[in-house]
Amino acid sequence: MKLLYALALLSLNVQAGSELVLQLDSSLRYESNPFFLSKNVDAGNVEEIGVRGDDRVLANDVRFLATHALDSPETRLVFEGQLGQRDYARLERLNHQPHAYRAGLEWRQGPLWSGAVFHSQDKKMFDYQDGFLTTRELVHRTQDQLTVSLNVTPDFAIPVTVTEKRVTYDTVNNAFNESKDHSVDAGVTWRSGTTSKLGSGLRLNNVRFTNRTSEQIANLDEQYRDQELYLDADWQYSVKTRLGGRVAALRREYASLSNLNFSATTASLAIDHAYSPKTNVGFEAWSRPSGSVNVAARYSTVRGAQLALRWQATAKTRLSMQVAVESERFQTLRTARPLPSPVEDRIRVGASVVVALSRDLSFYVDGFAQELSRGDLGAGSAQQTLSAGLEYTFENVTGLAERSGLGARR
C-alpha cells in the first residue's frame, strides 16, 4: 500500500502544473505517563504488567501534499498524507506505524457549479484519557465525502455535503464504540469582498454502533439521530484582527431509549490578533455537548478556553506558548442514581521553540504538561512530554508549505 502511495505521488509530480510539498520529521520524545494512568491505579499491579513509569519514543514522519491542475486551477487532483513510525524504548508493545491520507478531486464547472469528492483514511494511537486501558489500542477511521455547491453569485452559494464515516478499533476494549455514520449538511454561504464569511444550515447525522452486545444496547442503545441547526461567521474585523464563531442548536434522539434524548446548544468563538509584526495572539472558547458511555449519564457538556501566543523573536527563531482549561459536566439520567460531583477539570500548558538552521531545515523543541482532576469521580491523572527534533521541508512552489498547513514550524 505504501508503494502505491509513493507511485501516485511521483506520477503527479512529474506532470506540468503540479505542486509538491515533502516534509521529513525526526524527533526523540520523552513521555512521563504513556497510558495516562490515574493516581489510584494499583501500583503493584501496573508494575507487574510493566505499564507504569516514563518512556522515550523515537518518532519519524514523512508528510506530503501533491496537487495537479486539470483544465483550470480550480479543478485539480489532490493527494496528501503522512507515514510514520513510533518506537518506544521500554514499552515496545506500543510500537506502531501511524498513517493518514486524503485523495480526491476539487472541481468547478462554469460560474454556477463547484464541488469536491474525497476519500480519506487514518490510523493512529488511541487517546489514553481514562487511565484504565493498559494495552496498545489503535483507532482506524475511514471517510468518504461529496460536496456540491450552487454558486448563485460570486458571493452567495448553496452548498450540500454528504459524508459517510466508519470507526473501528484493534481491541475489544473499545469495540462497543465502533460505528458507522451518515450525515447530510445543507446550507447557504455569503462571502464579502473583505474575505469575511457568513453561513447557516441544517446538518442531519445518523450514527449506528456496529459491535454492541445486547446488554450494551439495553443500556446505551445502538443508534441515534442528530439534528443540528447552525450559524457560522468568520469576520475580518480589521487588518490585524479576525473573529470567528459558531452557534448551533442540537437535538439528539435515540432509536429505542428515549430517556437518553437531549437538546443542547453548541457555541464556539475564535479571535486571531496580530499584536505586532512579530507577535500574534489567538484565543478560543467553546461549549459543546458530548455523548456519554456512562450508563448513569445522558450526555456531558464540555466548556473550555485556550490562549495562544506566537513571537518571532529573530529572523530565524520563533517561540510559542498555549494554555488551555476545560471542564466537563455530566448530565445524569432522572431515573439513575446521581453521580457525585459529576465534573472533570483539565488544564494543559504547552510551549515550543523553532530555530531555522536554513531555508528548508529547522530544529525544534516542544512540550506540554496536562493534568486531569476528577473530584468525587476518582483520582486524577497527570502527564508531561518533551520533544526535540529536526524537520526538513521541500516545496516546488515558494510559500506552498505555509499555505497548505505543512509549514507550521517554519
Is residue 159 within 8 Å of residue 149, measured between CB atoms? yes
Using the CB atoms, write b or e for 162-181: b if 16+ within 10 Å. ebebebbbbeeebbbbbbbb
* Confidence grade of residue 76 (pLDDT, cut at 50, 70, 90): very high
16-30 pLDDT tens trace: 578 999 999 999 999
The number of CA neighbours under 13 Å toward the Cβ of 133 is 16
Q: Which residue type does 16 have?
A: A
Q: Which residue has the cell 457549479?
A: 113
Give the per-residue pLDDT at 131: 63
Entry pTM: 0.87
Highest mean pLDDT among 1-10, 64-73, 174-183, 327-336 belongs to 174-183
The answer to whether residue 234 scores a pLDDT higher than 50 is yes
What would the grid cell of residue 198 be?
A: 457568513
Element (H, E) at 160: strand 156-169
The answer to whether residue 14 scores a pLDDT higher than 50 is no
Q: Nearest 5°: phi and psi at 273?
A: -130, 125
* Confidence grade of residue 3 (pLDDT, cut at 50, 70, 90): very low
Between 133 and 116, name the one with better pLDDT: 116
∠ CA 251-254-256, nearest 5°, is 150
* Confidence grade of residue 8 (pLDDT, cut at 50, 70, 90): very low
The answer to whether residue 213 scores a pLDDT higher than 80 is yes
Query: What is the rounded CA–CA span in Å between residue 164 and residue 198?
Result: 26
The answer to whether residue 372 scores a pLDDT higher than 50 is yes
The answer to whether residue 15 scores a pLDDT higher than 70 is no
Give the per-residue pLDDT at 240: 95
Which residues lie below 8 Å from residue 298, measured CB to CB, with a gap of 6+?
259, 260, 261, 262, 292, 331, 332, 333
Average pLDDT estimate for 79-86: 96
Percent of the chain topping pLDDT 70: 89
Mean pLDDT of all residues belonging to the chain = 89
Element (H, E) at 218: helix 214-220
What would the grid cell of residue 237 be?
A: 474585523
Is residue 373 within 8 Å of residue 327, measured between CB atoms? no
> 140 to each of 167, 212, 291, how far by Cα in Å?
6, 17, 20
Measured between its terminal Cα atoms, the distance across the chain in Å is 30
The answer to whether residue 149 scores a pLDDT higher than 60 is yes
Query: What is the rounded CA–CA span in Å between residue 84 and residue 2?
Result: 11
243-300 pLDDT tens trace: 999 999 999 999 999 988 999 999 999 999 999 999 999 999 999 998 877 777 788 8
